[in-house]
Structures are given as structure tokens and as C-alpha cells.
Amino acid sequence: MFSIVGVFGRGITVRLATVVAILVLEATTVRAQVDVLTAQYNIYRTSSNGEETILTQANVNSSQFGKIFSRTVDAPFYAFPLIVTDFDVPGIGLRDLVIIATLGNSVYAFDADDPNANNPYWAVNLGTPQATGPGYPNPTEGILSTPVIDRATQTIYLTAIVQNATEPNLYVYALDLATGAMKYNSPQMITYTFASGLTTTDAGTWLQRAGLLLFNNVLYIGTANVLENPLDWHSQEGFIQTFQADDLSVQMASFETNPDGEGGGFWQAGRGIAADSSGNVFVAVDSGDYDPVISLAVSVIKFSAGTLSPISWFTPERWAYLYPQNLDLSANGVTLIPNTNLAFAGGKTGVIYLLDQTNLGGLATASGTQALQTFQASHGCGLTDCAQHLPTAFWPHAKYPYLYVWDVGDYLRAYPFDLLTQRFLTDYATVGTFLPSRAGGMTVSSNGAESGTGIVWATTALQDPYSSAVPGAIHAFDAKNITTELYNSDQIPTRDAMGTFVKMSTPVVANGKVYVNTQSNVLPVYGLLCQQPVGSEVTITPGTLTSVPGTSNYTQLVTMSNTGTQAIGGPFTLILSGLSPQVKLGGSSGTTSCIAPAGDTYINLSRAPLWLKPGKSFVAELGFAPNGATGITYTAILVAGTGGQ
């Protein structure tokens, strides 16, 4: 911010006042540049974004935060919305993108920020999706799982079920991020070969639900409900396959979850296949046979990097009971705890198993379990199958990490993780106060370990969503005290109504916005209702006021420089607070209403960069008409973000 005074008159020199730095302690610093390229944000599948610098506990409330725009698509979407920032769209320039993949087999690249950019930069449809009945998914099954984006090669990888003349088939695709065009020899039809030698291509029962994994040019795809005998539902299997990412015609390996028995579902409630920093892969499967290493029953499995060769596994002692009761571990997937050798998994029983990544433990026995820790994290349906899937999220806080669990028929629960003992402190769990019919997925956002920034986001439904679409809501809770609700979209439904609920959907929080799945064929986007001052990290330097020949008007160049360490996201607006009443600003966009003080003149800086990166600057040219005023006085305030002024 700065103040300037200009005095005009014949023969009088224009004088520029001293620049005055003003620190606004209450202001939110608008700075972020976070890509979300895979399910649950990262290959550890934590469901946490520790680089959210805009949304805080102080400003996520119904007076400052709400639905700011929406995008319309052709069908419901269960896949995680993906975010690509500062991307050079052909013929358009740098934009932030949100990628949406729908059950209608359409992929959209929308503007992630501009409320008025309703049309996608590109959209492709991959073919007719398979029609389904009521229930999940519906009304069609096309793209079900979360794609993965390789930013280095500008490629989106995804799968889709396409209804062909004789049967539906599952295909894997590589799409160009800039245009949606096919690349890398795609599409390729996926086939599965059972241990018996039978090969199947009919995807009529298949669920390719688990999010895709890309690591070191290897693409991992997992599928459930693959029937060896279409007349026998118990013959269903799960498969995981790998493909060479830069040439999808090369299938590298295939893993059948239970080749000598029945079952073998692999769906993970949509959670992506997990991997550690070395590329070792972790999955949770469900089958009715334990015969290592051919079949591993209800288990967590570790594959060696780049292969589908099991090198370690964990199987609960009660595996023979869990499978026939449909109480599988694949109802959540595996999460790796960052900066440790630990992982955890939990399925329909609501039990969490803490495991050693280096040696998962094998078969648990009555004489002593090989899990490092086992505890009842949920008090929902327990040993009754009620279609639960055990949503979890892990906040890797530097000092106070937490595990969050929200099962069907239960309250939100938070379990502290002790960094010294490397165990969950179950005696110190916190229980929320809101009991919905269903909860979807969860996200934890924070600005690292900065106080007052940790927020747990979740979607809920008050009615059972499985027979028909029902209204949903998005909630925000204090991450350190989940009994404190900061916001929910039902507080002002006329403005913020979410739409219909999608089970297993995870709100995506990035760069000050929240993107939410719905069954309503609409992507609602939430954020701050007002733009925010950029803070002291941007230096505003005014140039000399210069007279316009033949007029009484003046121009001035104003330079905005990022002297901080993080990129600051636009769009940018320059407010001229306290501008002299008689002076008119050329190209003025209006006067402020939600940024105090109200009634100040502002101008939208449409030619400003999308992101003001550290060490970079941009220049705005202002034009003034004094209209008889003897001077120009104003305080400049730079604000940013998608909200209003």
C-alpha cells in the first residue's frame, strides 16, 4: 500500500509523496500455487494439502466464504477433480485448469478461477457409456476412477467403459493436457486372463474404481468385479495391471487377486493405489482364500517397485470370517504416513491396522498380531455390512498429526498420532457432534503447521443416497478440535447449496478454492466471497504523474513487485482508497462493497499475470481526470482472488 499526492496547476511541478508501507495484520495473504495431479493429492494417499495459504479458520465462515461459481457437465462425476496451475492453454495463454471426468465418458478442462468462464477450454467424449440401473453408479458408468496427470509430459491418463455393439469394454487412454487429443497409442482395450486361461473383455460388471497410479513411467490400473463365470457372482475377481505410460500398447504385468479361489475384489472406495518414494506399491484386496503368495485373502499387499510381485502382506486373523460377511479391507485402501516407515489401512469393520511398510507382518495369529497397532476407529456398523467404506484422512502436521475417520452411522472422529512412540493415541480421541446418514471422503487443508490454518473438509448426506440421489452438504471443521464447525453449505442454502451427494467423494481444496463432486451434473466451487489484500510481501511503487498533452489529464505507472518467497495468485484488483472526490479514474471497474472501507474506487487489472511469482513484477498504467481538483490523493491497496470487491 502507499499514499500519493499530486498538485496541479500551470507552472506547478507535480510532487510525489513519500511511499508509506502499511501492514494490515488482519489481512489474509493470498499466495498459493498448488497442483493436484492425482487422487488424495499425493502417492501416499493422505487426503491432505499442507500448502493451503488462503483458507483459514478465521475466514472460512458463512459471512466470508461460500459458493462462488459452478461448472455444468454432462453427467455425475465420481472422479477426484484435478487441478493444474499456470498452464499455457493454446491460443488463450496461462490459465489454471480444473479437469473433470464424468460417468458420461466426458473429460473437461475448465478454467479453475474465473467465475465467468463457463465454457471449457476443451472437452472430449470417449464414447457411449454403459447404462446402469438405480443405485451406484448411475445413470451410466463411463469414467469412474480418478485419472492421473503427468505434468512433465502434459498427459492425462484415465480409463472409461465404452458400450460397443456387442458388449461394454474398458479402455485406457492418454490425453493431451493442452487439447484432449489422444496420445501414446491410446486407447487400448483392457483384457483380463484368469489362471484357468479364460480371457474376458466384457466389462458389464466391472468396477474400475481405485484411483490410477503413475510412477517412473509405469501406469497402475486396478479393477473389481471381473467375472470368470457370468452366471456365478462368486467367481468375481480383482485384477491389477501395469502399462508403459509413454506407450500404452505395452502391457507390462498383470496380477489376479485370487487365482485359486473365489472373490478378490479390488476397489479401495476410490482411493488411489499408494506408493512410497522408491516406487514400492501398496494395495488392499478382498478374497475368500489364503494361500500365499498365490492368494492373500483379506489383505494389504506390497509389490516391489515397477512389478506386481508381492514381497510382503498383512492378513487379519479373522480373514475367513470377514470375506463371507462382505467386510473387506478394500473399502478404504492404504495410506502411507509421510516421513515414517508406517502405513495404515481399515475397511468395513471400522478397525484401523497400523503396519510397518518394510515388513507388513504376514498372517495375524491369536498368539500375537503382526500389526503394530490395531484399534476400533469407528463405532458405526461394526461387524454388520451396511455398505460402509470408512473414509479417512491423515494430517501430517509437524508437531500434532491426526487421523480422521468418518464411518457410516457414526460421528467424525480424530485420533492424535504420537511422533515419539509412532502410535495413535486412541485414549485421546475427539468425537464430533454431527451425525449424518452418510459421509463421503475427507480432506485436510493447512498452511503447513501454521496455527489457525488446519481445516477438515467433508461432504455428508442426511438421507440414504443409494436408491436415489439426495441432497448433500459440505462441512468445514477445526482440524485440532473437530467439535468446532466453521462452516457448512446449509447455513445459507440459497447461496451455497451443494447439490446431490456422491458417496466416496473427496472435496478438493487448492489455491483458496474447494471443488466438490455431485450427482447434479454440476461442479460447485467454493471460496472467499471477497478478494483479499496481498499483504506486505508485495511492494507497490508509483511512478511519476505525467500530463497528457492537450488535456488536463494525467497518467501514472504503478509497479507491483513480489518480494516474498511464494507465488501469489490472481486475478488482481487495485483499489484506490480515499481517491479525491472530484478525480475520475480512467477504466474504473466500480466501487468496493465487500472490501472495507466500502465505496472505494477500484480497477480490475486484466493484463496482470495469472500468478505473481517471487522476484517478478508487473506494471499497471492509471489514468486520471482531475475535473478541477487541485490534487490527487489516494491509498493504493492490491487485492487478489476470485471473490468480489
pLDDT tens figures, 206-242: 999 999 999 999 999 999 999 888 887 777 889 999 9
Q: pLDDT: is 635 or 161 the higher one?
A: 161
- Please check whether residue 475 lies inside any domain of the structure: yes
Q: Is residue 59 scored above 90 in pLDDT?
A: yes
Q: Let me know if residue 451 belongs to a domain.
A: yes
> For the CA atoms of 530, 534, 535, 540, what is the dihedral angle to 10 degrees?
-130
Has residue 318 got a pLDDT over 70? yes
Which of 9-13, 85-89, 106-110, 531-535 has the least mean pLDDT?
Answer: 9-13
Cell of 131: 447404462
Which of the 8 DSSP states describes residue 161?
E
pLDDT-based confidence at residue 366 (cuts at 50, 70, 90): low
Q: Does one domain contain both 305 and 214? A: yes
**466 and 590 share one domain:** no
Q: Yes or no: say if 315 and 254 are a contact pair by the CB < 8 Å rule.
A: no
Assess whether 545 and 566 both reside in one domain.
Answer: yes
**Of 497 and 383, which is predicted with more confidence?**
497
Q: What are phi and psi of 319, to 5 degrees?
A: -55, -40
Give the separation between CA 562 and CA 613, rounded to whole angstroms. 7
Q: Of 530, 564, 598, which one is at a domain's C-terminal end? A: 530
Q: Which amino acid is at 146?
A: T
Question: Checking DSSP bridges between strand 572-577 and strand 611-612, what pairing results, if any?
Answer: unpaired
Q: Is 34 domain-assigned? A: no
Q: Does residue 547 share a domain with residue 424?
A: no
Interstrand relation of 351-356 and 342-346 (parallel, antiparallel or unpaired): antiparallel
Closest by CA to 441, choosing from 483, 396, 472, is 472
First-to-last C-alpha distance (Å) of the chain: 17
Taking only the tens place, the pLDDT of each residue in 161-203 is 999 999 999 999 999 999 999 999 999 999 999 999 999 999 9
Q: Is 285 exposed, middle or buried (0-12, 13-18, 19+ CB in 10 A)?
A: buried
Contacts 24+ apart (CB under 8 A), 249-254: 249/185, 249/188, 251/188, 252/218, 253/307, 253/308, 254/192, 254/193, 254/308
Among 554, 553, 555, 534, CA closest to 608: 534
- How sure is the predictor about 45, in pLDDT bands with cuts at 50, 70 and 90? very high
Alpha-carbon dihedral angle through residues 399, 380, 442, 239, given to the nearest 10 degrees: 110
Q: In what order do the strands lie in the sheet with 236-244?
A: 213-215, 218-227, 236-244, 247-256
Write the pLDDT tens digit of every residue in 600-623: 999 999 889 999 999 999 999 999
Query: How is residue 594 written as a grid cell?
Result: 465487500
Domain contains 468: yes
Helix/strand/coil for 101: strand
Query: Which residues, in sequence order, are CB contacts of 13 under 8 Å at separation 6+?
Result: none
Query: Does 543 lie in the same domain as 523?
Result: no
Same domain, residue pair 296 and 417? yes
Measure the CA–CA gap between 444 and 446, rounded to whole angstroms. 7
pLDDT of residue 19: 29
Q: Residue 43 domain-assigned?
A: no
Does the predicted model carry a pTM greater than 0.85? yes
Share of the chain above pLDDT 90, in %: 73
Query: Does the residue 37 lie in any domain?
Result: no
93: left (phi over 0), alpha (psi -120 to 50) or beta: left
d(CA 127, CA 144): 14
State the chain's mean pLDDT as an integer.
90
DSSP class per residue in 324-377 = TTT--GGGT-EEEPTTSSEEEEE-TT-EEEEEETTB--EE-BTTB-SSSEEEE-
Same domain? 451 vs 584: no
Q: Are 85 and 156 within one domain?
A: yes
User: Of 436, 489, 432, 441, which is closest to residue 461 (Cα–Cα)?
Assistant: 436
Give the type of residue at 544: T
What's the pLDDT band for 3 if we cut at 50, 70, 90? very low
Indicate whether 449 and 330 sit together in one domain.
yes
**Domain limit, last residue, from 493, 514, 530:** 530
pLDDT confidence band for 368 (50 / 70 / 90): low
Q: Is 366 exposed, middle or buried (0-12, 13-18, 19+ CB in 10 A)?
A: exposed
Query: Do 69 and 147 fall into the same domain?
Result: yes
Total domain count, the chain: 2
Residue at 39 is within a domain: no
Q: Which residues contact 121 (CB under 8 A, 6 or more apart)?
A: 89, 92, 95, 97, 109, 110, 111
Which of 477, 500, 530 is the last residue before a domain boundary? Answer: 530
Dihedral sign, Cα of residue 395, residue 372, residue 357, residue 326 = negative
Q: Which amino acid is at 306?
A: G
Above 60 in pLDDT, residue 15?
no
Same domain as 269, residue 204:
yes
Least confident range of 83-97, 191-205, 318-332, 370-384? 318-332
Domain of 573, CATH number, reads 2.60.40
CATH number at residue 439: 2.140.10.10
Share of the chain above pLDDT 70, in %: 94
Indicate the Cα dihedral angle 230, 235, 240, 241, nearest 10°. -50
Grid cell of 244 as nine digits: 508403459
**Gap between the Cα atoms of 18 and 306, Å rounded:** 62
In a domain, 38, yes or no: no
Q: Same domain for 496 and 567?
A: no
pLDDT of 11: 27
Q: Following CA atoms 561, 565, 566, 568 in sequence, which dihedral angle do they give, to the nearest 10 degrees?
A: -20
What is the residue-wise DSSP string for 318-339?
THHHHTTTT--GGGT-EEEPTT
Please give the residue range of the domain that contains residue 374: 48-530
